[in-house]
Amino acid sequence: MDSSAPEASRRTARASLVESVRDCTLAGVRISKEELRRKLTMPEYLRLAVTDAIESKDIDGAADRHRLSAGESAESPEFPLVVFINRNSGGRHGPKLKARLQDLMAKEQVFDLQCVEPDQFVEYGLRCLEKLALGDLCAKQTREKLRVVVAGGDGTVGWVLGCLGELHVQRREPVPPTAVIPLGTGNDLSRSFGWGGSFPFNWKSAIKNTLDRAGRGQECHLDSWNISISMPAKEIVHRPHCLKPVKECYLDQGLEIGVLPEKVSYYKGVFYNYFSIGMDAQVAYGFHNLREKKPHLAKGPVSNKLIYSGYTCAQGWFFAPCMSDPKLRGLNNILKMFIKKTNCSNWEEVSIPPSVRSIVALNLNNYASGRNPWGKLKPDYLEKRGFRQARVDDGLLEIFGLKQGWHASFVMADLISAKHIAQAAMIRFEFRGGERKEAYLQMDGEPWKQPIVEDYSAFVEIKGVPFRSVMINGTVSS
């Protein structure tokens, strides 16, 4: 008997096992590349019509050029997907991921955000598909089943969610649910809905798993929050793309406002994860500027976090008591905060503790790469403070404070909770300067330097968007 036969058999079995594991979902079911492609890929005429409409900005013409001829028919895929990739997010995995995705579905369903922005897809691509759906069953079913995957960080996901939300706000059209491939540094939106906190090491096979889950996952909801800024007429320098200048915005009635000059600048935006004021935003601002000027330094999540930690130390957050610079003092010197609670029409002023140097209004249970600074609070404590257990779809923001860097470090290590301040359905911040000429603000990881002056107030008002974003739960089982 050949003694090498058992060893050869074992080698074959091991190879088979490795291949099976590589191509499995989390539930252990093998995903066939060909089968997945069949389930994902839209018929060619629909793909070409969508891309033609985006490129030509001619919805009617694109629909007419690619409409099926009389007697022709096509079948809608089981779960049609489109993917948006931010190639500059996190560790710059976008180009190789784009090639992999185009191998798993049609290339026309994979959009590079440097070439096609999500509002262009919504305005032209989806409208073309909707026009075809009026007399085409395949197009109708494809539009109804369409789902979106965003490959990027929290800022990218928020950008796409905001554009998709306009479908409901402006056209009352159904909004495709969204899944995430985490390419950013923190990826808290991705973590909150079961898509993981980082780009997977075995990404080639993991992407198949992600697309399969994106097609089969259950829909869930996410609160989103409008932010309005009214300020003395100045331009916000290095303004994040999620914050847009507008002609006018109105502050909620019922609260006497501070002094505004005759000339006022207005900005509006939407956030999904958090809004913050203070030292954490100042650190993020320094890091963001460095990454823009020297992108070669930000090669991945690990290097990003090391640079971020360096900025935290350099900005004086840890050693503020030793310094006299007014920029390093508590926020209560420049800031007033007012809140409205659920089903309450009256504003309530909330005092800001002198020790607090960052204030965060948090929507998710994840913050700063998966931390939960609000914590899992006990029922007795919730009842005593008048709080509810935090959820992403409860119409409330959790407001907490961070003190010096040491306090923030212990909070981020989950050794202690942050300074609980309030839960609110609406928030208004009033800024007034003095020695300080600016404050640092950020939302969903996008920071900016907010001008403030001594003679006039600047206001930031936050209130919930009536429409909740539609997400896909990534923790589905087979």
Which tokens go with 70?
């009389």
Q: What's residue 366's pLDDT?
A: 86
Handedness of CA 387, 371, 225, 262 (dihedral sign): positive
Structure tokens at 287: 């890091």
Handedness of CA 440, 443, 444, 448 (dihedral sign): negative
What is the arithmetic mean of pLDDT over 122-150?
96
pTM of the model: 0.81
Q: Where are the domains of the chain?
A: 22-217, 225-468
- Asked if pLDDT for residue 477 goes beyond 60, the answer is no
Residue 404 to residue 415: CA distance in whole angstroms: 15
Is residue 96's pLDDT more than 80?
yes
Rg (CA), the chain: 25
Whether the pLDDT of residue 36 is over 80: the answer is: yes
Interval 262-288: pLDDT, tens: 889 999 999 999 999 998 888 888 876
Q: What is the mean pLDDT of the segment spanning 336-344?
A: 92
476 band by pLDDT with thresholds 50, 70 and 90:
low
Taking alpha carbons only, the member of 140, 171, 164, 139 closest to residue 150 is 164
Identify the pLDDT of residue 147. 98
| pLDDT, tens digit, 9 for 90 and up, residues 386-396 | 999 999 999 99
Residue 297 pLDDT class (50, 70, 90 cuts) = low
For residue 149, what are its two tokens? 């995957």
The pairing of strands 274-278 and 225-232 is unpaired
Computed over every residue of the chain, the mean pLDDT equals 84
Torsion of CA 149, 159, 107, 76, to 10 degrees: 50
pLDDT tens for 48-88 read: 999 999 999 999 999 999 999 888 889 999 999 999 999 87
Q: How much is the pLDDT for 246?
A: 92
Q: What is the mean pLDDT of residues 208-225?
A: 94
Which pLDDT score is estimated for 416?
83
184 — pLDDT class (breaks 50, 70, 90): confident
Say which CATH class 225-468 falls into: mainly beta
How many other C-beta atoms lie within 10 A of the C-beta of residue 343?
Answer: 7
Does pLDDT of 330 surpass 90?
no
Greater confidence, 199 or 459?
Answer: 459
